[in-house]
Chain A
Amino acid sequence: MKTSILEERQKSIGAGGAGRGLSCDQDSVSGSVSQRACVYCGARVVLNPITDAFHIVHGPIGCASYTWDIRGSLTSGSELYRNSFSTDLQERDVVFGGAKKLAAAIEEIVADYAPKLIFVYATCIVGVIGDDVDAVCRDAERRFGIRCIPVKSPGFSGNKSFGYKMACNAIMELILPHRLSEEAYQKEATGVNILGDYNLAGEMWIIENYLREIGVPVHATVTGDASYESLISAPRAALNIVQCAGSMIYLAGRMEEELGVPYERVSFFGVEDTTDSLLRVARRVGGPDAEDRARAFCARRAREIRPVVEAYRPHLEGKRAAIYVGGGFKAISLIRQFQSMGMEPVVVGTQTGRPEDYEVIRSLVGQECVVLDDANPAELETFMKLKGADILVGGVKERPLAYKLGVAFCDHNHERRHALAGFEGVVNFTKEIHDSINSPVWRAIA
Chain B
Amino acid sequence: MKNFVNLNVNPCKMCMPMGSITAFYGVSKCMTILHGSQGCATYIRRHMATHFNEPIDVASSSLTEEGAVFGGEKNLIKGLDNLIKLYDPEVIGISTTCLAETIGEDTEGIVARYREARPDLRARIVTVQSAGYAGTQFEGFFRTLRALVEQTEQDATPNGRVNIVTGQISPADTRWLKGFVAAHGIDAIFLPDLSENLDGGHAEVYERLPSGGTPIADVAKMAGARATVELCTFYDEAYSPGAFLNNHFGVPLFRAALPTSLKDVDALAGILVGLGGRQNAAPTTNAKSNVGAACSRPPDAVNRARLRRLDAMVDSHKQNAQARAAVFGEPDFVYATCRLLVENGAMPVVAATGSVCPDFREKLAEVIAEVQGFHLGENPFIADDCDFTQIETAALEQRANVLIGSSDGRRISEKTGIPLVRCAFPIHDHVGGQRVRTLGYEGGLMLLDQVTNAVISGVETTFREELKGRYYHPSDSDHDASSASKVLSFSGQARESSKPRETALQAGDPVKGHPCFCGCEGARAARIHLPVAAGCNIQCGYCVRKYDCVNESRPGVTSGVLTPEAALARYLAARETIENLNVVGIAGPGDALASPAATLETLRLVREADKDVLFCLSTNGLALPEHIDALAALGLTHLTVTVNAVDPKIGARIYQHVDYRGMRLEGEAGAAALLANKFAGLARAKALGMQIKVNTVLLPGVNDAHVPEIMRAVKETGCVLSNIMPMIPVEGSALAHLGKADLAEVDRLRALCEADLPQMRHCAHCRADAAGPLGHDVPLPSALAEGKAS
Scoring A61, A123, A404 by chain B CB atoms within 10 A of each residue's CB, the highest score goes to A61
Given contacts A31-B80, A156-B37, A156-B65, contact A400 B56 (CB under 8 A): yes
Q: Is the CB of B15 within 8 A of A65?
A: yes
The 0/1 profile, CB within 8 Å of A marked 1, for residues 76-116 of chain B is 10111111011110000000011100110000000000000
Give CA–CA (A101, B87) in the complex, Å: 43
Residues of B near A376 (CB, < 8 A) are: 86
Report yes or no: B55 in contact with A155, Cβ–Cβ below 8 A. Answer: no
Contact B59 A62 (CB under 8 A): no
Per-position 1/0 for B513-539, Cβ under 8 A of A? 000000000000000000000000000
How close is B35's CB to chain A, nearest CB, in angstroms? 10
Chain B residues whose C-beta falls within 8 Å of the C-beta of A4 in the assembled complex: 86
User: Which residue on B lies nearest to A77, using beta carbons?
Assistant: B779
> A89 to chain B: which residues have CB within 8 Å?
133
Q: Tell me the nearest residue of chain B to A157, going by C-beta.
A: B65
Residues from chain B with Cβ under 8 Å of A123 in the complex: 98
Evaluate contact between A155 and B85: CB separation under 8 angstroms: no
Which A99-117 residues sit within 8 Å CB-CB of chain B?
Answer: 101-102, 104-105, 108-109, 112
Chain A nearest CB from B99 CB (Å) reads: 4
A127 interface hit (Cβ, 8 Å): yes
| Separation of A87 and B5 alpha carbons in the complex (Å) | 10
Q: Whole-angstrom distance from the CB of A68 to the nearest CB of chain B?
A: 6
Q: Is the CB of A86 within 8 A of B38?
A: no
Q: Which of B47-83 contact A (CB under 8 A)?
A: 47, 49-50, 52-65, 67-68, 75-76, 78-83
Could you tell me if B102 and A28 are in contact, using CB atoms closer than 8 angstroms?
Answer: no
Cβ of A396 < 8 Å from any Cβ of B?
yes
Q: CB-CB contacts of B133-147 with A at 8 A, as 1s and 0s?
A: 110100000000000
- Contact partner, A128, options B68, B86, B779, Cβ 8 Å: B68
Q: Are B83 and A31 in contact (CB under 8 A)?
A: yes
Quick check: is B596 within 8 A (CB to CB) of the other chain?
A: no
Q: Chain A, 79-96, contact with B by CB distance < 8 Å: what is the 0/1 string?
A: 100111111111101100
Among A1, A65, A69, A108, find the residue whose CB has the most chain B CB atoms closer than 10 A: A65
CA distance A104 to B7 in the complex (A): 9
A29 and B62 in contact, given A34-B38, A37-B39, A90-B133 (Cβ under 8 angstroms): yes
Interfacial chain A residues near B85, Cβ < 8 Å: 2-3, 6
A399 and B9 contacting across the interface, CB-CB below 8 Å: no
Is B61 within 8 A of A396, CB to CB? no
What CA separation (Å) do A405 and B54 show in the bound complex? 11
B781 within 8 A of A: yes
User: Is A64 within 8 A of B62, CB to CB?
Assistant: no
Q: How far is the CB of B21 from chain A (nearest CB, A)?
A: 12
Nearest A residue to B74 via CB reads A30
Q: Is A445 part of the binding interface, using a Cβ–Cβ cutoff of 8 Å?
A: yes
Contact A156 B10 (CB under 8 A): no
- Min CB distance A404 to B, Å, is 5
Provide the residues of chain A in CB contact with B202, threshold 8 Å. Answer: 404, 406, 445
Residues of chain A contacted by B131 (CB below 8 angstroms): 60, 91, 94
| Contact residue among B14, B41, B55 (Cβ-Cβ distance under 8 Å from A65) | B14
Judged by a CB distance under 8 angstroms, whether B11 is at the interface is: yes
Q: What residue of chain B has the Cβ atom nearest to residue A56's Cβ?
A: B7
B6–A108 CB distance below 8 A: yes
- Chain A proximity of B597: nearest CB distance (Å): 27
A66 to B38, CA, bound (A): 14
Residues of chain A within 8 A (CB-CB) of B15 are 60-62, 65
A38 with B38, Cβ < 8 A, contacts A2-B88, A67-B43 known: yes
B717 sits at the interface (CB 8 A): no
Contact of A75 among B38, B64, B79, B782 (CB under 8 A): B782
B7, A74: Cβ atoms closer than 8 Å: no
Find the B residue at minimum CB distance from A7.
B85
Contact B7 A88 (CB under 8 A): yes
A33, B7: Cβ atoms under 8 Å?
A: no
| A interface residues, how many (CB within 8 angstroms) | 87
A33 touches B6 (CB 8 A): no
Q: Which of A8, A30, A89, A156 has the most C-beta atoms of chain B within 10 angstroms of its own C-beta?
A: A30
The residues of B that contact A381 with a CB separation of less than 8 Å are: 206, 208
Q: Are B42 and A36 in contact (CB under 8 A)?
A: yes
Report if B40 contacts A (CB, 8 A).
Answer: yes
> Which chain A positions have C-beta within 8 A of B97?
124
Evaluate contact between B14 and A61: CB separation under 8 angstroms. Answer: yes
Q: Which of B6, B87, B408 contacts A2 (CB 8 A)?
A: B87
Name the residue on A nearest B43 (C-beta).
Answer: A66
Binary flags per residue of A141-158, CB closer than 8 Å to B gives 1, else 0: 000000000000011111
- B7 lies within 8 A of A86 (CB): yes
Q: Which of A2, A64, A77 contacts B86, CB < 8 Å?
A: A2
Give the distance in Å from the alpha carbon of A166 to the alpha carbon of B52 in the complex: 33
Closest to A107 in B: B6
| Least CB distance, A271 to chain B, in whole angstroms | 29
Contact with B along A20-59 (1 / 0, CB 8 A): 0000000111111111111111000000000010001001
Contact of A124 among B60, B87, B98, B408 (CB under 8 A): B98
B44 and A155 within 8 A (CB)? no
Does B49 lie within 8 Å of A128, measured CB to CB? no
B60 touches A62 (CB 8 A): no
CA distance A156 to B82 in the complex (A): 20
Residue B443 is within 8 A (CB to CB) of chain A in the complex: no
B345 → chain A closest CB, angstroms: 35
Question: B133 to A91, Cβ gap below 8 A?
Answer: yes
The reply to whether B102 and A2 form a contact with Cβ atoms under 8 Å apart is no
**Cβ–Cβ contact A30 & B8, under 8 A:** no
A76 near B779: Cβ-Cβ < 8 Å: yes
CA distance A77 to B57 in the complex (A): 38
Q: Is B276 an interface residue (CB 8 A)?
A: no
In chain B between 598 and 628, which residues have their CB closer than 8 angstroms to a CB of chain A?
A: none
Q: Which of B4, B86, B783 contacts A32 (CB 8 A)?
A: B86
Q: Within 8 Å of chain B (Cβ to Cβ): is A397? A: yes
Report yes or no: A2 in contact with B208, Cβ–Cβ below 8 A: yes
Contact between B779 and A41, CB atoms less than 8 A apart: no
Q: Are the C-beta atoms of B55 and A156 separated by less than 8 Å?
A: no
Assess the A128–B102 pair: CB atoms within 8 A. yes
Q: How far does the Cβ of A288 sit from chain B's closest Cβ, in whole Å?
A: 33
How far, in angstroms, from A76 to B6 measured CA to CA in the complex? 29
Whether A108 contacts B5 in the complex (CB less than 8 A), given A31-B80, A62-B17, A157-B65, comes out as: yes
Contact B42 A128 (CB under 8 A): no
Q: Given the interface contacts A76-B779, A87-B7, A94-B133, does A33 sit within 8 Å of B39 by beta carbon? A: no
Within 8 A of A (CB), among B336-350: none
Interface check B772, CB cutoff 8 A? no
1/0 per residue, CB under 8 A from B, across A396-431: the answer is 110111011110000000000000000000000000
User: A221 within 8 Å of B by Cβ?
Assistant: no
Q: Which A residues fall within an 8 A CB radius of B? A: 1-4, 6, 8, 27-41, 52, 56, 59-69, 74-79, 82-91, 93-94, 101-102, 104-105, 108-109, 112, 123-125, 127-129, 154-160, 376-378, 381, 395-397, 399-401, 403-406, 445
29 A-B residue pairings within 8 Å (CB atoms): A2-B86, A6-B85, A30-B59, A31-B59, A31-B60, A31-B61, A31-B80, A33-B83, A41-B43, A59-B98, A60-B98, A61-B13, A62-B18, A62-B40, A63-B132, A65-B15, A66-B44, A84-B10, A87-B6, A90-B133, A112-B2, A155-B38, A156-B37, A156-B99, A158-B64, A160-B39, A376-B86, A404-B54, A445-B202
8 tightest A-B CB contacts, nearest first:
A38-B39, A31-B79, A31-B82, A62-B15, A155-B37, A77-B779, A66-B43, A60-B133
4 further contact pairs, Cβ within 8 A, besides A76-B779, A405-B206: A62-B17, A88-B8, A124-B99, A157-B65
